[in-house]
Amino acid sequence: MAVSFKQVTKRFADGTVALDHLDLDFELGEFVVLLGPSGSGKTTACRLLAGLEQPSSGRIEIDGKDVTNVPPRFRGIGMVFQNYALYSHKSVFENIAYPLRIRKVPAADIERSVRDVADLLRIGDYLKRKPAQLSGGQAQRVAVARALVWEPAICLMDEPLSNLDALLRLHMRTELNRLHRKLDKTFVFVTHDQEEAMTLATRIAVLKDGRLVQFDEPKTIYRKPANRFVAEFMGRPAMNTIDGMVEGGVFRAGAVACPVDRSDGPVTLGIRPEQIELAAASTPGAMTLTVDVKEAVEPDTLLIFQNSGGNAITLRTQANCDAIEAGQPVSLAFPKSALHYFDARTGQRVE
Ligand code: ATP
The residue contributing the CA closest to ligand 1 atom 1 is 38
Is the CB of residue 158 below 6 angstroms from any atom belonging to ligand 1?
no
Total number of domains in the chain: 2
Looking at the fold, whether 42 and 167 belong to one and the same domain comes out as yes
Q: How far is the CA of 192 from the centre of ligand 1 (A)?
A: 13
Pair 252, 310: CB distance under 8 Å: no
pLDDT tens-digit map of 43-61: 999 999 999 999 999 999 9
pLDDT: which is higher, 285 or 34: 34
| pTM of this structure | 0.89
Q: How far is the CA of 42 from the centre of ligand 1 (A)?
A: 8
Asked if the structure places residue 78 within a domain, the reply is yes
Asked if the structure places residue 250 within a domain, the reply is yes
Q: How far is the CA of 47 from the centre of ligand 1 (A)?
A: 11
Looking at the fold, whether 7 and 111 belong to one and the same domain comes out as yes
Final residue before a domain boundary, out of 177, 202, 233: 233
- Looking at residue 178, what is its pLDDT? 87
- Looking at residue 141, what is its pLDDT? 87
Looking at the fold, whether 287 and 191 belong to one and the same domain comes out as no
Is the CB of residue 43 below 6 angstroms from any atom belonging to ligand 1?
yes
Quick check: 283 pLDDT over 70? yes
pLDDT tens-digit map of 120-172: 888 899 999 999 999 888 888 899 899 889 889 899 999 888 777 787 788 88
Quick check: 241 pLDDT over 90? yes
Instruction: Give me the numbers of helices (H) and strands (E) for the chain, helices first please.
Output: 8, 21
Residue type, 75: R
Pair 153, 186: CB distance under 8 Å: yes
Looking at the fold, whether 28 and 75 belong to one and the same domain comes out as yes
Pair 24, 4: CB distance under 8 Å: yes
Asked if the structure places residue 348 within a domain, the reply is no
Is the CB of residue 22 below 6 angstroms from any atom belonging to ligand 1?
no
Final residue before a domain boundary, out of 200, 216, 233: 233
Q: How far is the CA of 44 from the centre of ligand 1 (A)?
A: 6
Q: Which candidate, 193, 192, 154, 157, places its Cα nearest to that of 175?
A: 157
| pLDDT confidence band for 1 (50 / 70 / 90) | low
Q: How far is the CA of 297 from the centre of ligand 1 (A)?
A: 34
Asked if the structure places residue 71 within a domain, the reply is yes
- 210 burial type by CB count under 10 A (0-12 exposed, 13-18 middle, 19+ buried): buried
Domain that holds residue 271: 240-342
- Looking at residue 187, what is its pLDDT? 93
Quick check: 308 pLDDT over 80? no
Mean predicted confidence (pLDDT) in 246-252: 95
Looking at the fold, whether 270 and 186 belong to one and the same domain comes out as no
Looking at the fold, whether 270 and 217 belong to one and the same domain comes out as no
Looking at the fold, whether 53 and 172 belong to one and the same domain comes out as yes
Final residue before a domain boundary, out of 202, 233, 264: 233
Quick check: 240 pLDDT over 90? yes
**Three-class SS of residue 173?**
helix
Is the CB of residue 42 below 6 angstroms from any atom belonging to ligand 1?
yes
Instruction: In whole angstroms, give the CA distance from residue 269 to residue 118.
Output: 50
Looking at the fold, whether 316 and 276 belong to one and the same domain comes out as yes
CATH number of the domain where residue 283 is located: 2.40.50.140
For helices 136-148 and 166-182, what crossing angle results, to 10°?
20
Asked if the structure places residue 351 within a domain, the reply is no
Q: Which alpha helices (H) appear in the chain, and where do they start and end?
A: 42-50, 92-101, 107-120, 136-148, 166-182, 194-200, 218-223, 228-233
The residue contributing the CA closest to ligand 1 atom 20 is 39
Asked if the structure places residue 13 within a domain, the reply is yes
Question: Rounded to whole angstroms, what are the CA distances from 167 to 137, 174, 199, 265?
Answer: 10, 11, 15, 47
Provide, rounded to the nearest whole percent, the portion of the chain with pLDDT above 90: 70
- 38 burial type by CB count under 10 A (0-12 exposed, 13-18 middle, 19+ buried): exposed
Looking at the fold, whether 194 and 278 belong to one and the same domain comes out as no
Looking at the fold, whether 190 and 274 belong to one and the same domain comes out as no
Quick check: 4 pLDDT over 70? yes
| Close Cβ partners of 24 (under 8 Å, ≥ 6 residues apart) | 3, 4, 5, 45, 205, 212, 215
Q: Which candidate, 70, 38, 77, places its Cα nearest to that of 55?
A: 70
Is the CB of residue 340 below 6 angstroms from any atom belonging to ligand 1?
no
Is the CB of residue 37 below 6 angstroms from any atom belonging to ligand 1?
no
Asked if the structure places residue 349 within a domain, the reply is no
Quick check: 338 pLDDT over 90? yes
Q: How far is the CA of 28 from the centre of ligand 1 (A)?
A: 27
Looking at the fold, whether 80 and 190 belong to one and the same domain comes out as yes
Looking at the fold, whether 19 and 156 belong to one and the same domain comes out as yes
Is the CB of residue 35 below 6 angstroms from any atom belonging to ligand 1?
no
Question: Rounded to whole angstroms, what are the CA distances from 96 to 19, 28, 157?
Answer: 33, 24, 16
- Looking at residue 339, what is its pLDDT? 96
Asked if the structure places residue 202 within a domain, the reply is yes
Instruction: In whole angstroms, give the CA distance from residue 71 to residue 290.
Output: 61
CATH number of the domain where residue 149 is located: 3.40.50.300
The residue contributing the CA closest to ligand 1 atom 2 is 38
